[in-house]
Amino acid sequence: MIQSLLYPRVTETRRVISLDGMWKFQFDPASKGVEENWTKGLPDSCSMPVPASFCDIFTDKDSREYTGDFWYETDFFVPGEWKDNEIVIRFGSVTHRARVFVNGTEVGSHVGGFLPFNVCVNDVVKYNQYNKLCVQANNELSETMIPCGATATLSNGKKISQPYFDFYNYAGIQRPVKLLMLPKESITDFTVNHRITGSDAEVDYVVETTGQNNVLVEVYDKKGNKVAEANGKTGTIVVKDVKLWNVHAAYLYKFVVKIVDGDTVIDEYYDTIGIRTFEVKGGHFLLNGKPVYLKGFGKHEDADIRGRGLDMVTVKRDFELMKWIGSNCFRTSHYPYAEEVYYMADEEGFLVIDETPAVGLMESTMNFLAANQGTGKKVTFFEKETTPILLEHHREVLKDMIKRDKNHASVIAWSILNEPETNHESATPYFENLFDYAHELDMQKRPRTFAVIMMSLPHTCKCWQVCDFVSLNRYYGWYVMGGYGMVDAEAAFRKEMDGWGAIRGERPFIFTEYGADTLPSEHKLPSVMWSQEYQKEYLDMNHRVFDSYDWIQGELVWNFADFQTTEGIMRANGNKKGIFTRQRQPKDAAFHFKERWDNLPIDYKGEK
């Protein structure tokens, strides 16, 4: 079966049934489920909502911290009239591995916790009857998949996750599950690229199908009027008097793709697409040929109780807060988000830097000893024997992310890694492979970047040159030279920026992380670290630096909202760098940002 990543749509030829709701759930610490036929039903289950992370639902620590195999089960009904079509189960994501069984038969598997996958169940379902769906999942971390980490065993025999990253390893069926009916001859992919020609737009397109029949593409405006059409699996559509998609002024066309045999429609699919161009040129970001300054957030899919489970109430609240504060951009740190988030960004006119789950690709205090224990030899992260396996998985995830998200007007760039190790030459071929692959995959040739960790400086980083624009994560005044040492932090910050300015060429720079942990209850005069007063002083210093360099073209503060992390002495029940609390209420800094961003024009530092 061809792995189509098209978002599920109900059309003349397609049907979609949600399988979300309360499923059965059971831990499998001994990995005995397959051997004991849990594939046909769980022997001692509890109820569990889908979609959701399982972790924070429980009240005991063993369940919250559980690492290993775990199972889900539900029943689904297949209508008899669907016979002789393709019957597909689509998972929005299962973190981090999944094996899928229908009526006791394995029908597919997937590795990677943040992207969709399909399983075809034609040969195993019973029509006009209920069928049993069982999923064996696993949330263990390793160095051969992203995000990177390790799995250890405690003295009591229980496994524990050791993430090489600073956010909680939430797991489960975290995004919607849907039952699809598709025609045997169907549309499997649809790709567009836009050019503006005066008052019109030319849209190049490619349609992929499972058959040889003709393809028709139609374009409709918001009022439902057909404004353009074309025949064939590839071609160019001319949209006259085009209404361009823009920041906070989104206009979406409806693209309808049909496989036709004469007057018969064999398959029909549609998507909502904004027509726009985006490029890096002359040290600026150009949206529809005009400069745009990026202002916004690094975010997380993270909320109370739900963990990383998709919750549209939280998604909507986040967009309302981002509009209120005057932002126009966010990064999907540190993994691709649920598809519904991108569609909302399309509708609201937000710019999105889309990031792979490639976080934890570095040696640090937390993982160096585990990786090199007993060997007596230090190797850099990209010199390991496992690196080729990791690269293969990384390429697969990058391919699926671009395939899924390539038509979104909101997606303006690909972030291919976050805070990797880059101070050794061994990293360079790994980066070049991925950056070249991203360009090959993307018909729109979006700019590519990665988030550069603070230890990677102008004279030490071996990989920044692969970027179309450079993204810096910097914490002068927090992790280094904090508190009363703020004056030294600003001086060191400016020294580094002068170093980048001397070698950057025409590349624009943005800040994808800067921030200070802040407790909303903490006030102190004069300020101390963790107080709201200190957060404001820290932000003021950073913004003074940003405003001093014309080639700094964006500021994405870390983080939009407080979020959960693994427990530790540096974290007070999670990361508290949020401009909003985890419950989506403003800290004092939110009003500070609103005043700044409301007064920064969209073309701030643009060409005069």
On the question of pLDDT at 197 being above 80, the answer is yes
Give tens-digit pLDDT for 127-168: 999 999 999 999 999 999 999 999 999 999 999 999 999 999
Cα dist from 238 to 90, 227, 254, whole Å? 34, 9, 14
Asked if residue 491 has pLDDT above 60, the reply is yes
Give the 3-state secondary structure of residue 597: helix
Where residue 388 sits, what CATH number does that domain have?
3.20.20.80
pLDDT in tens, 80-131: 999 999 999 999 999 999 999 999 999 999 999 999 999 999 999 999 999 9
* Domain end position, chosen among 238, 259, 276: 276
**Percentage of the chain with pLDDT > 90?**
94
Q: What is the pLDDT of residues 162-187, one digit of tens each?
A: 999 999 999 999 999 999 999 999 99
Q: Is residue 357 part of a domain?
A: yes
Active site residue 537: no
Per the CB < 8 A criterion, the answer to whether 328 and 602 are in contact is yes
* Coil vs helix vs strand at 208: strand
Query: Do 238 and 387 fall into the same domain?
Result: no
Angle (CA) 580-584-587 rounded to 5° is: 30
Nearest to 425 by CA among 382, 391, 454: 382
- Mean pLDDT, residues 249-259 taken together: 98
317 contacts 184 by C-beta, under 8 angstroms: no
**What's the pLDDT at 158?**
96
Tell me, what's the pLDDT at 377? Answer: 52
Which residues lie closer than 8 Å to 491 by C-beta, 6 or more apart?
A: none
605, pLDDT greater than 70: yes
Catalytic position from the list 86, 143, 355, 419: 419
CATH assignment of the domain containing 251: 2.60.40.10
Which contiguous run of DSSP H or E holds residue 431? Answer: helix 427-441
Q: Please check whether residue 6 lies inside any domain of the structure.
A: no
Do 280 and 508 form a contact (C-beta atoms < 8 A)?
Answer: yes
Residues forming a β-bridge with 257:
217, 269
Q: Are residues 264 and 291 in the same domain?
A: no
What separation in angstroms does the CA of 492 have from each of 200, 451, 504, 551?
49, 20, 18, 18
Tokens representing 9?
């749509």
The per-residue pLDDT for 1 is 61
Supply the pLDDT for residue 367.
46
Question: Do residue 61 and residue 167 come from a single domain?
Answer: yes
Instruction: Please state, in angstroms and as integers, the Cα–Cα distance from residue 415 to each residue in 331, 336, 396, 412, 580, following that order.
Output: 8, 10, 15, 10, 24
Answer whether residue 605 is part of any domain.
Answer: no
Could you give the angle at the alpha carbon of 415 between the alpha carbons of 412 and 416, nearest 5°?
A: 140
Q: Are residues 495 and 400 in the same domain?
A: yes
Q: What is the pLDDT of residues 412-430, one digit of tens each?
A: 999 999 999 999 999 999 9
Residue 421 designated active-site:
no
248 Ramachandran zone, left/alpha/beta (phi>0; psi -120 to 50): left
604 located within any domain: no
Q: Do 520 and 399 lie in a common domain? A: yes
Query: Three-state SS across 306-320?
Result: CECCCCHHHHHHHHH
Same domain, 506 and 488: yes
Helix segments in 202-353, DSSP class H = 312-325, 339-348
In a domain, 10, yes or no: no
Task: Categorize the per-residue pLDDT at 3 as very low, low, confident or very high, splitting at 50, 70 and 90.
Answer: confident
Distance CA 73, CA 48 (A): 10
Residue 311 carries which side chain, given as an amino acid letter?
A: D
As given in the structure block, the two tokens for residue 428 are 């360079």
Q: Is the pLDDT of residue 8 over 70?
A: yes
For residue 195, the enclosing domain spans: 187-276
Residues 6+ apart with CB under 8 A from 11: 268, 269, 270
Among 73, 143, 513, 555, the one annotated catalytic = 513
| Mean pLDDT score across all residues of the chain | 95
Q: Is the pLDDT of residue 495 over 50?
A: yes
Residue 351, classed as helix, strand or coil, is strand
Residue 608 lies in a domain: no
pLDDT surpasses 70 at 383: yes
**Would 2 be classed as within a structural domain?**
no
Q: What is the pLDDT of residue 569?
A: 86
* CA-CA-CA-CA torsion sign (260, 264, 269, 272): positive
What is the arithmetic mean of pLDDT over 573-593?
A: 96
* Residues 172 and 206 both lie in one domain: no
End residue of a domain, out of 276, 292, 322: 276
Per the confidence metrics, is the pTM higher than 0.85?
Answer: yes
Q: Are residues 573 and 506 in the same domain?
A: yes
- Token pair recorded at residue 323: 């509009």
- Of 514, 506, 432, nearest in space to 473 by CA: 514
Q: Given a cut of 80, is residue 369 above it in pLDDT?
A: no
pLDDT of residue 202: 97
Domain count, the chain: 3
Angstrom CA distances, 433 to 112, 395, 456, 462, 599, stand at 20, 9, 20, 14, 41
Q: Are residues 252 and 333 in the same domain?
A: no
Question: What phi and psi values does residue 584 have, to the nearest 5 degrees?
Answer: 70, 40
69 and 87 part of one domain: yes
The average pLDDT across 521-527 equals 93
* Domain end marker among 255, 276, 297: 276
Residues 527 and 534 sit within 8 Å (Cβ to Cβ): yes
pLDDT for the residue numbered 572: 85
161, 141 contact by CB (below 8 A): yes
User: 223 and 155 in one domain?
Assistant: no
Residue 8 lies in a domain: no
What is the rounded distance in angstroms from the CA atom of residue 327 to the CA atom of residue 319? 10
Mean pLDDT of 540-559: 97
The CATH number for 119's domain is 2.60.120.260
Average pLDDT over residues 431-457: 97
Cross-sheet strand order for the sheet of 117-120: 15-18, 177-182, 86-91, 117-120
Euclidean distance between CA atoms 114 and 356, whole angstroms: 9
Instruction: Give the DSSP H or E segment for 134.
Output: strand 129-138
**What is the DSSP-derived secondary structure letter of residue 249?**
B
Alpha helices, DSSP H, located in 213-294: none
Say whether both 258 and 322 belong to one domain: no
**Paired tokens of 552:** 């700094």
